[in-house]
Chains A and B, each alone.
Chain A
Amino acid sequence: MLLIPCPWCGPRPENEFHYAGEAHIARPPDPAAVDDAAWADFLYMRTNPRGTHTERWRHQYGCGRFFDCVRDTVTDRIAGTSRPRS
């Protein structure tokens, strides 16, 4: 079980959190303006790297807030967490 440092609450066990996938995937501002390939890219395509991964978590059973986390997907070592960019 990971020990995840919530940027607001400090280190808490993994089962207080909800994993929310790869970070910084922006919804196209005007969905009607993008073609099907770009929409599929937004919805489904993921980097899924072996190594450093920037991801989003939510402190579901704590403060309830989303934050960004940088984790190595081979060692599961967390390099750091930060409050999301607005």
Chain B
Amino acid sequence: MTTAPKFSFLNLLRHATGGAWSPQWRSPEPKSRYDAIIIGAGGHGLATAWYLARDHGLNNIAVLDKGWLGGGNTGRNTTIIRSNYLQDESAAIYEHALKLWEGLSRDLNYNVMYSPRGVLMLAHNDQDVRVFRRHVHANRLQGIDNEWLTPEQAKAFCPPLNIGRDLRYPVLGAALQRRGGVARHDAVAWGYARAASARGVDIIQNCAVTAINRGPDGAVTGVETTKGPIATGKIGVVAAGHTSVVMAMAGLRMPLESYPLQALVSEPVKPVMPCVVMSNTVHAYISQSDKGELVIGAGTDAYTSYSQAGGLHIATHTLEAICELFPSFRRLRMLRNWGGIVDVTPDRSPVIGRTPVPGLYVNCGWGTGGFKATPGSGHIFAATIARDDPHPIAAPFALDRFRTGRLIDEAAAAAVSH
């Protein structure tokens, strides 16, 4: 079943002296029936498939994607990882993910380049200071590392930062999560794809789902795709910005609105940013990739759209903030600018779990910050699908919370203003 040899020192040596690497995952044609189908081959979907195969013995499963794997938001985000959210439910889910990040390269036998270099969240006004200090206290009670820094301490941690008092929005302090950081986004998708494929999961790319079939009792019986019909009793929808479109095939309306979210990278330069810096108030997200590019996250557009582009004035706004906070970056040229479609919920928390349609499960609503949750999201969603019962960490994020009113408000912690 395995196509890719295990990465090891011996194998590296063997391939260095000749012999091409084989493909890292299989590209099979779809079978006529699977025990479960995951719609969406991004990080969350591939992780779900891998945990289903590894932890729940479900090997006869497929991951379908209308494009190529990791080509949506997994390949478009700014790769920031942290777990210092406010509410206990969110802290639990993001901390679960962070713990998995710490061992992920070993679990997958694939270097996802997780780098806990520290995430600094800047406070620029009295309200920011109060909110972030509250987060620091809440996180301490939750057992999650998050500490308050003075402007001078923030500057010591991140030397290029401008803490001058003459800024329009001066830095009044910062919250620092030292275990936060970044990982290589493409490697996360590739690593999960390779490991899942090795356990028998069929990853079928360029295969769009066009309909969800249901039996007389309403339960799902399969999907129609551009590669023909596929029967299954369990469907997990992990389609990010396109979740509303897929769920409409089962007649469901979702508490989601899809917005373009932008990111940019600069020309590569020598190491200059030692950590990740985020600022909600002036709207700037910046870190440096191992290639040397500054990776910059901008905001969402004001209106719903599937355009995967975003308005230039949104990116301009972020670059103005970056130039004020980091005057030494002013002469850098931006190389690329793109957008991804993010699905935003009313309370800025994800939706994970069962739906009113038997056999149909959904994992969506990660909004502007889903990358950090990838391993945790896949892990608890796999358990939810396998047992047809929400994983304890997933339970509070059920779709039903919008009816019961038990929302999980993370408008402040989700950081990207929208």
Contacts and interface: CB of A to CB of B under 8 A. Distances in A.
A73 to B, nearest CB: 5
B407 to A, nearest CB: 9
A48 B304 contact: yes
Interface string A33-71: 000110011011111111001010000000000000001
B244 A46 contact: yes
Contacts of A50: 242, 244-245, 258, 306
A35 to B, nearest CB: 9
Interface string B284-326: 0000000000000000001111110001110000000000000
Contact of A45 (B255, B303, B405): B255
B253 A47 contact: yes
Contacts of A2: 303, 311
A48 B258 contact: yes
A47 B252 CA distance: 9
Contacts of A53: 304
A75 interface: yes
Contacts of A15: 313
Most chain B CB neighbours (cut-off 10 Å) among A36, A43, A48, A49: A48
Contacts of A37: 403
A74 B403 contact: no
B402 interface: yes
A19 B257 CA distance: 12
Contacts of B312: 1
Interface string B244-281: 11001000011111100000000000000000000000
B302 A47 contact: no
A21 interface: yes
Contacts of B71: none
Contact of B256 (A18, A43, A46): A46
A55 B303 contact: yes
Given A1-B311, A1-B313, A36-B404, A46 B254 contact: yes
A19 B311 contact: no
Contact of A76 (B253, B258, B305, B346): B305
Contacts of B254: 45-46, 48
A46 B257 contact: yes
Contacts of B253: 41, 45-47
Nearest to B302: A19
Contact of B402 (A40, A55, A76): A40
Contacts of A19: 302-304
A48 B307 contact: no
A2 B305 CA distance: 12
A30 to B, nearest CB: 19
A48 B257 contact: yes
B244 A43 contact: no
B244 A74 contact: no
Contacts of B311: 1-2, 14
Given A45-B255, A48-B258, A49-B245, 17 more contacts: A1-B311, A2-B311, A14-B313, A19-B302, A43-B346, A44-B402, A45-B254, A46-B255, A46-B257, A48-B257, A49-B248, A50-B245, A50-B258, A50-B306, A55-B303, A55-B304, A74-B306
7 contacts: A14-B311, A36-B404, A46-B244, A47-B244, A47-B253, A48-B304, A73-B258
